[in-house]
Amino acid sequence: MPASYLSPKTRIARSPIHGRGLFASKAVRKGEIVAIKGGHVLDRRTLQRIRRRIAESYLQIDDEFYIGAVTGREVRRNKMFINHSCEPNVGIRGQITFVTLRGIKAGEELTYDWAMEENSPTVTACRCGARRCRKTLTGQDWRIPRLRRRYRGYFSAYIQAKIDPR
Ligand SMILES: [Zn+2]
């Protein structure tokens, strides 16, 4: 069963943002790993075919590729429960490793910004509740200059490579 890794300093609980979320159960220092996404590597066509079964449990890892569960049964141990926030406290190192952007207190919800990993034509309303909430999220938000500055070094590697071509 392709599970994701969740740090023992985290726990899943009901979230004020959306459904269930991932929370710090103990204090976490800046730069610590809180989760690593596991799963099957899926191309876009496969994702479209199975998307309804696996809901929002996958992670984009390149322009045409995703990682995650392929069956509803796998979702439970594969989903990381890290909700989106427009003022996140977690970023991405590489493509699948989630690290804290700052020190986190016990009880805080862990969140990242979809702009860090998504390159797609989608548009979604956001009700994350953050003071700086963008209200509308698009799969092209990684292009927004202030986000590029704010999340520098914390975008998924394939997005960071578009921003800083080698
Ligand atoms: Zn928001």
91 alpha carbon to ligand 1 midpoint, in Å? 16
148 alpha carbon to ligand 1 midpoint, in Å? 16
Give the Cα separation of 135 and 70 in Å (integer): 30
Contact 23, 108 (CB under 8 A): yes
Which range of residues forms the domain containing residue 38?
5-163
Contact 40, 68 (CB under 8 A): yes
Neighbours of ion ligand 1 (CB under 5 A): 86, 126, 128, 133
87 alpha carbon to ligand 1 midpoint, in Å? 7
Contact 2, 69 (CB under 8 A): yes
56 alpha carbon to ligand 1 midpoint, in Å? 17
pLDDT in tens, 91-128: 999 999 999 999 999 999 999 999 999 999 999 999 99
pLDDT at 14: 98
pLDDT in tens, 9-37: 999 999 999 999 999 999 999 999 999 99
- Look at the chain and report how many structural domains it folds into: 1
CATH number of residue 118's parent domain: 2.170.270.10
